[in-house]
């Protein structure tokens, strides 16, 4: 089974299904989203969507209404295509630890989602995810995905690795291979056995090759669609691996084990 470990709800959803079919991808982990760059038709509309993205990845909350709209889009896409999408639910980080635990219970477990993410703490604020990790551990070690590209910093990645070591039952997935800090992300993952690296949007093919070589059992194929493309992301993995067990693990086997598929 080939599984894209990182994608966001598309509008319309069938355009995403078409991309997965083209790439020969069986299933995709799907996150809710406020920005929809695939809706843009010109520079002005794309700038608008990217401004929403900037707010999101900078950790600025849209308030309960924005989160709820994204959740409903995600739930609808997963309900329409349960054979293709694996839903992960996002929780707000600007809440108390008790409220976060309640959100995980209600909005992740209660909706039948299989993990938590994509979390977007503000730069310098990676420590805010610790209550989420505690709640994930309380529910059998739900995987938690954290945004790894800018504005996430190298110091944030170090914090994430330290938090992962405090919560060893929780698979902590660093998205986008840590962005420009990919070398730091690989070094940290080597020494934190429950840290996984999702490989989308890597700037350098060598970074993907190195990550797979250093942590072969904890690297995950992902596209970050619609920002990335499943076909190109899969081609990158296949470019740096040969046919066989390792490639199969990266393209979906490891994630299937984490999710019990």
**How far is 119 from 162, CA to CA, in rounded Å?**
17
CB 189 within 8 A of CB 197: yes
* Entry pTM: 0.94
- Measured between its terminal Cα atoms, the distance across the chain in Å is 9
Within 10 A of 139 (CB to CB), how many other CB atoms are there?
A: 14
Confidence of residue 127 (pLDDT cuts 50, 70, 90): very high
pLDDT > 90? residue 95: yes
Q: Which helix (H) or strand (E) holds 49?
A: helix 43-57
Quote the tokens at residue 117: 């993410």
| Percentage of residues of the chain with pLDDT beyond 90 | 88
Confidence of residue 62 (pLDDT cuts 50, 70, 90): low
Q: What is the pLDDT of residues 13-53, one digit of tens each?
A: 999 999 999 999 999 999 999 888 999 999 999 999 888 88
pLDDT > 90? residue 103: yes
pLDDT top residue among 68 and 95: 95
> What's the mean pLDDT when you consider all of the chain?
94
């Amino acid at each position: 089974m080939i599984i894209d470990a990182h994608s966001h709800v598309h509008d319309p959803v069938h355009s995403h299904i078409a991309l997965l079919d083209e790439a020969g991808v069986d299933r995709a982990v799907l996150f809710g989203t406020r920005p929809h760059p695939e809706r843009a038709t010109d520079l002005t509309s794309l700038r608008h969507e990217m401004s929403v993205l900037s707010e999101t990845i900078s950790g600025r909350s849209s308030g309960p209404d924005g989160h709820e709209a994204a959740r409903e889009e995600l739930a609808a896409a997963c309900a329409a295509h349960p054979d293709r999408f694996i839903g992960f639910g996002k929780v707000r980080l600007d809440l108390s630890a008790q409220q976060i635990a309640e959100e995980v219970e209600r909005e992740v477990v209660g909706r039948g989602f299989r993990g938590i993410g994509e979390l977007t703490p503000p730069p310098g604020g990676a420590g805010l995810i610790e209550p989420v990790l505690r709640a994930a551990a309380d529910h059998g070690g739900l995987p938690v995905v954290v945004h790894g590209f800018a504005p996430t910093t190298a110091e944030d990645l170090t914090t994430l690795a330290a938090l992962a070591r405090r919560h060893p039952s929780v698979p902590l997935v660093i998205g986008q291979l840590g962005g420009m800090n990919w070398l730091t992300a690989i070094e940290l993952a080597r020494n934190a056995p429950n840290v996984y690296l999702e490989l989308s949007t890597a700037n350098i093919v060598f970074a993907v090759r190195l990550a797979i070589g250093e942590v072969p059992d904890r690297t995950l194929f992902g596209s970050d669609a619609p920002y990335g493309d499943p076909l190109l992301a899969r081609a990158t993995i296949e470019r740096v691996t040969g046919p066989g067990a390792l490639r199969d693990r990266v393209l979906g086997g490891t994630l299937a084990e984490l999710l019990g598929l």
